[in-house]
Amino acid sequence: MATEKNDALFTLIKSLSKSEKRQFKLYVGRLGGNADANFIALFNILDKQTSYNERQILQNTHIKKQQLSNSKAHLYKQLLISLRLSPLHQNVKSYLREQIDFATILYNKGLYKQSLKLLDKAKNMAIENEENNLAYEIVELEKVIESQYITRSLGNRADVLAVQAKELSMRNVTISKLSNLSLQLYSWMLQKGYAKSNDDIELVTDYFNSRMPEYKIAQLGFMEKMFLYKAYLWYSLITQDFISSYRYSQKWIDIFNDKPNMKKVNPIFYLKGYNYLLESLFMIKHHKKFRSTLEDLKLDMDTKKFSMNDNTEVLASIYYYQNRLNLFFLEADFSKGVLYVPEVLKEVNQFKLKIDEHHIMVFYYKIGCMYFGVADYENCILYLNKIISNKELAMREDLLCFSRVLNLVAHYEAGLDENIESLIKSTFKFLIKMNDLHAVQRKMIEFLRSLTEMYPSELRAAFKKLHAELKVYENHPYEKRSFLYLDILSWLESNIEGIPIPEIINRKNKLLKSE
């Protein structure tokens, strides 16, 4: 029996807004003779259900068990047709595809001039919005029509179409190579993570350079530039060159600001670029620029500068709330951050069916860190355990590793040390298995293990010793990232000096501003 989680039809119906449901009912009403149709009855009962219940469907409709699969498939198709007709889901791509379909119908009826006139308008719109694949498809259809019906309106018509086809084809090849490279680097990041050695740097650099196509920046259009900057961004992130990742994510956003209409044509790419820009600014701790960039994103959300639909609304919310939490970390304002947590959780729950598990766990990690910052270790452990206990989760290894290390530190601070030895062993085994045991993590685990045999009078000296050992890694090219996920140095300084972590971080921030 299908369940709520894997029943596509039920999930689709639950995603519909009130206006979309009203649109669907008007759509099927226009078809005539559908009032008692099985798929309408099926829609009505699924709309009322809070969880998918097949038995209830069979009991309250005239649908037989052997008919249910076909009825669901038919309803699913009709819902998609209705959504396609809704103004909410109209965009440049859908309009151009529609025009191509209309032109094909006119061509099949032998109305060549009408078809070519429609295609010419669509082609100009496609080129203007850099929908190069669709523009190429339109030119190819124009060539087919011209080969059967010579308009004689332009003497060199065949040559013009041939040149357009060649130019669009070459641009599409460049875009394809650049988008392939950016996707391959993203896959590299997921599978291998950040570079951990000079050998890793050499390997990814060779990979990057061998797949980068030749180009002249002045000859690149919007889409080519976007995928070029995206490829360089991923290369910069993998090599942990966060200054470069900031530069290329800023270039990414700049091309959208130079051509604002592309924010509505490609809203997903626009939002992703903003998120990478904020992530890079967080990595380099550029407080002022981070805050202003986050404010710009919020302004664009409020004024709807990009196309708003279910997908972009969810993405924009994820990126805004995650980076809003990051701002609290940058400014060491953990008390306000904790007060902000209920609003974040409300947003997460609202979009839970549309947010993947990885993003939810990222929220939990940030919330856990926020509670750690105000010394609420019980709540810190609560949210970290949501990550650690998720056995089916496929997410970035670094987040899983740091969740476990922070969990150990939180147990120590909370005085929950009766099982600390077993926690240390399981964490060490996990890190070895994940092949992500950095020098910082190893020294942390060794230190926590030694605490169980240490007298209270020896603690301050032990904290100082560990601080000196870890300080050398603060700007290490392959170890510095550890301190971005888990500010161990500030925690140690807090224990050494006996003052709260936020005061330590604020003191460091003032020094950074004065430099």
Residue 284, phi then psi, degrees to nearest 5: -95, 5
Side chain identity at residue 211, one-letter code: R
pTM value is 0.81
**DSSP string of 150-210, one letter each residue:** ---SSTTHHHHHHHHHHHHHHHHHHHHHHHHHHHHHHHHHHHH-S--SHHHHHHHHHHHHH
How many Cα atoms sit within 13 Å of 488 on the Cβ side?
Answer: 33
One pLDDT digit (tens) per residue for the chain, 515 residues: 344 445 889 989 988 888 888 888 888 877 665 555 777 888 989 999 888 888 888 888 888 888 888 889 989 999 998 888 877 677 888 899 999 999 999 999 889 889 999 999 999 999 999 999 999 999 999 998 887 765 555 557 778 888 999 999 999 999 999 999 999 999 898 788 788 889 999 999 999 999 999 999 999 999 999 999 999 999 999 999 999 999 999 999 999 999 999 998 899 999 999 999 999 999 998 989 999 999 999 999 999 888 888 888 899 999 999 999 999 998 889 999 999 999 999 988 888 777 878 888 889 999 999 999 999 999 999 999 998 888 766 555 667 778 888 888 888 888 887 777 788 778 777 777 765 567 777 787 777 777 767 776 777 788 888 888 888 888 787 777 777 766 888 888 888 888 888 888 888 777 766 55
Using alpha carbons, list the distances in angstroms from residue 31 to 72, 170, 421: 18, 45, 69
Using alpha carbons, list the distances in angstroms from residue 471 to 464, 495, 505: 10, 15, 15
Give the span between the Cα atoms of 258 and 246, in whole angstroms: 18
How many Cα atoms sit within 13 Å of 373 on the Cβ side?
Answer: 28
The answer to whether residues 373 and 367 touch, using CB atoms and an 8 Å cutoff, is: no
